[in-house]
Structure 1
């Protein structure tokens, strides 16, 4: 999957795209996680391993795809990309930071993330601020 070119300066018009992409990504990741977890749990009879795999897939989906390509499948469908604030590609380290902090967003049903994005000029979530990343339109 080649990385599309970011269009810097479009941070302000991507909030709705980010929300829709997140919904799509969570559906994709959850289906994958439940399939893998169900198969592992059923075949091996290990619910602990199945739970671990489900959680690893739910977090790893975002970390790996954004770290390697700057986009999850949902972001790609919506034409947005994660980049460093200076326009460089999102690194794996930045992806880990921004996505580990996604846990804070999830604790508040993403309401906190939305509020933080609305009051921040670059429309960054807490994870974006910590990782020095922005989400912009892609060409």
Structure 2
């Protein structure tokens, strides 16, 4: 596998040579180095989830809890909250359609850094943790009880 290191100090985000950029038969997937070992061993595979999907569904249920829901407002171009994004990801994984390619190497490189280990979805999982932490902090400060099923806490 040929690697093209990305230098964030550059003003131009293009990292590939013209021989690659100009070849319309070449596509690539920008992903985090977190998945490099699996990709080198098995190639690109559809339906691979970097976390336990059952726990992902429990996370969605927790984010939809009436006490937590107000902390997860819709945002972005698609106006979706984190619960909806994670649920869509899990639905797509189970349907085997979760592999995407980008024609813009700069855009792909931004997702290939260590800061986004596991790609965009693990960034959303980290955001979900922050949402839940904010909610719990507020509830503890206000001393308001919250009911969470034992299955969600496991």
TM-score range, shorter chain: under 0.3
Higher CA-based Rg: 2
Larger fraction in strand: 1
Compute the TM-score of the two structures, normalised by the length of structure 1. Answer: 0.27
| Normalised TM-score (structure 2) | 0.25
